[in-house]
Structure 1
């Protein structure tokens, strides 16, 4: 049992800034360049597509979050409608998708810092050197240490950092547009990716990765004073504010590039030799080198702030995984300050593994994006399950048109996974298969006392054709995404949309009994998880 309780000290602004602070991280430092390289001027559309996709999912979770106002509630949501086996699978997906993001942000800090403090990176691949590895471990340790503060101080520190993180990107837009204005850059002949590039950039250029932070408010629901009011405002508000900021940054980036740099190879060959930070390099190129200095400072603050708040939410997710029995229950222990301390130390230990020589920031972001969007895809299914099982339940935020928007959100989530490419999807599913085999061996061979416990196969079997169908669609898809080229890009999207709707119907027909869902929701809301 926990020694203490979480504290309900989070207000609306604190939760809004938690989500917004997670959205504005390393994505703004690298995303516009990678998006421009893949889609050229159509990268503006990439951000719009990514924002629309995330907003659909955010609307779904804005309804679900207040119904289960517990920290790490997305883990509890995954156990609602499709039995314990599916809940465990999604718990693992959620754990790895969350615990990997803070290390990626720390890596982004050192990638920028390497420009003026060389030695953090080794070779052209951009992986951490021995010195960089040690510094990364120490920096992640600082964020873990700060998270031992009570939640009120954690949110206060994050809010202060978020103010800076909003002001600097907004000022960067003004500086670049004031010093350089090249509307001819918006001509499509410079772009080589076309519409396909516009869509694939959503997953692989860091666009969807940048918006993942919206769910921070939901992850901290058990520490909110008024979750019914605060969660919808924080979730939806953070996505809308983040969209305006990122669209402005992409537009300023496109307009500021010297047309001469596009003369040979267009946007796909755009690079800033000798500098890792595209915005700082661009500021120097347009005659605002003084602003580049500010950007190098912000390159420490923005991703560091995101790593800090993701450490907070990752600990809550890990705590919830322990509560549900998908991992040792000791992870759910809370100290007298309301901190899930064992979960926090676990986040540190597992997060450190991501500092080993993995691929570059962009490649790692692609993997994480695929895993995280996969974790989001269950939300629309659960929303429709709860609408049927608990039609009259109190919903502080009720999504209008859920019968249309929830299926649309599920389709879009699967599109994003497809846009990430076959290699990313193969990596994701291979990791899940390994985890699944390990768990089944443990359950049926080692844990003899658990053999009699039902895993709920009849509620979760649809996941197997779901994962297989996603992989097959990607395998048959265009060659530029790693497929065989048997299905053109947009035809593949159409097939995947139809397949997604079939899977959605199957998932809704294999749900646990309505009364089981009602009892589960009532039990979650009856447990006094957080102290007032």
Structure 2
């Protein structure tokens, strides 16, 4: 590898406030950021992964897993706050890695985030469609099973032969509706998100409040089930594996930081938004998992696709089933909204830096939103949701989030060495102790995840490196294009 290529891979974005010529509008305050964080964080992780992690990994000690994941998030969240004040630009961890570690590191984490948000939004939209179909069935409105499943899913039998789905139309519908809303403007999207967050928090509070009196203390024994001899199957390793699994539930952090360039005062509001949403979500997760494992023995959650519904069956309140279904639908709605928002802002930032085609780096003159990015991901995310059984890929989002957190923590340390005199509106206290703790805690949880999840990450990053070599390195806004490479293009 010649020195020109090495210099290209290591060139860094200048640290400092970017010029407000991107077309994005600074309209969000701390309250909106907290609502965005809660909106994307409380959703699939609460209603599905809590039961999975308790039944297969940690038992009642899943409460400890949520605390461990929250602590790691707090370390990373504080680091996000420091970098957001120094670099108040759209793009989140991508921009921070680009400024601290160089272009190659920025590209890797940006490419990672694109997959994280795209797969996450697709998976949650499929789950949303299933709950919506169930709700419509209860109202006497029956959709064709073939139009609510992918071609790889069997929806019935005809003449002794399996009948497969055609496309998941409801999942595509909700992606299109939310994408159009995001194209109209960030203010409208934030208002809808705030309403949805209020509804689902009220439903969750009802489940916790009405479920508490029916808890069976015996279900908490043993609180930490003994390990079966297999790593991650109960015991201390089970708590750690559960923490890594439910990290999907804390995806909201990175999504919040993607809108730094649409925040009125990112140096002040971003730390409030990050840590405020973390505090609310951690309390909700711990309280909810406490009630869930108290109502249902953890052994009965193994393989249960609807552990919350099973838990409610242990109470005399049948109406709670409908309320929870509404809460889940609202929960998934806000998750999809913020994930679509996050992926478009990362793509927008990468295009503004020349690493992707320039059409994705422009905003609509009147709407002030990156319409091309939204249209592109509306197509990609909608296609995945329509034609693939995407749920299994949702595990990819956990390792993607953890990788982003590690890079951000590293970025804080590096910039303190490279830019020691640069003004910091917010500085993580305790020197490098918290960034190092964030690196270690997130790294340990990454190592606890299974080999298939790691393989998916490596394959996706390898594809990204090919894209970067063919386009990004040649068109980067920083520095001149390498003559020898241009000659070959």
* Aligned with 1:431 (options 460, 476, 480): 460
CA distance change for structure 1 residues 445 and 230 in 2, over 3 Å: closer, same or farther?
closer
Match of 2:170 in 1: 135
- The worse-fitting range, judged by mean Cα deviation, of 277-286 and 424-433 is 277-286
Q: TM-score if structure 2 supplies the norm length?
A: 0.83
Give the drift of 1:443.
7.2
Is the contact made by 2:40 and 2:338 (CA closer than 8 Å) also made in structure 1?
Answer: yes
Deviation per residue, 1:264-294 (Å, 9 max, x gap)? xx356463xxxx4321232134222111111
Is the contact made by 1:57 and 1:376 (CA closer than 8 Å) also made in structure 2?
Answer: yes
Segments of 5+ residues of structure 1 without an aligned counterpart are 456-532
Q: How does 1:130-529 map to 2 (within 5 A)?
A: 130=165, 133-178=168-213, 180-188=214-222, 191=225, 193-204=234-245, 207-257=246-296, 266-267=299-300, 269=302, 271=304, 276-335=305-364, 336-355=366-385, 358=388, 361=391, 363-441=392-470, 450-452=481-483
Segments of 5+ residues of structure 2 without an aligned counterpart are 1-19, 138-142, 156-162, 229-233
Deviation per residue, 1:154-181 (Å, 9 max, x gap)? 2111111111121211221111113x12
Is the contact made by 2:41 and 2:335 (CA closer than 8 Å) also made in structure 1?
Answer: yes
Which 4+ stretches in 1 moved above 4 angstroms? 356-360, 441-447
- The worse-fitting range, judged by mean Cα deviation, of 276-285 and 11-20 is 276-285
Q: TM-score if structure 1 supplies the norm length?
A: 0.76
CA distance change for structure 1 residues 403 and 430 in 2, over 3 Å: closer, same or farther?
same
Aligned pairs, number = 437
> For residues 337 and 355 of structure 1, what CA distance do their matches in structure 2 show?
27
Match of 1:484 in 2: none
CA distance change for structure 1 residues 444 and 344 in 2, over 3 Å: closer, same or farther?
closer
Give the drift of 1:352.
2.4
Match of 1:15 in 2: 33
Is the contact made by 1:203 and 1:419 (CA closer than 8 Å) also made in structure 2?
Answer: yes
Deviation per residue, 1:142-197 (Å, 9 max, x gap)? 1101112222222111111111121211221111113x120111112883511111
CA distance change for structure 1 residues 137 and 270 in 2, over 3 Å: closer, same or farther?
closer
The RMSD of aligned alpha carbons is: 2.8
CA distance change for structure 1 residues 453 and 25 in 2, over 3 Å: closer, same or farther?
farther
> For residues 218 and 443 of structure 1, what CA distance do their matches in structure 2 show?
23
> Residue 233 of structure 1 aligns to a residue in which SS?
helix
CA distance change for structure 1 residues 230 and 421 in 2, over 3 Å: closer, same or farther?
same
CA distance change for structure 1 residues 270 and 214 in 2, over 3 Å: closer, same or farther?
same
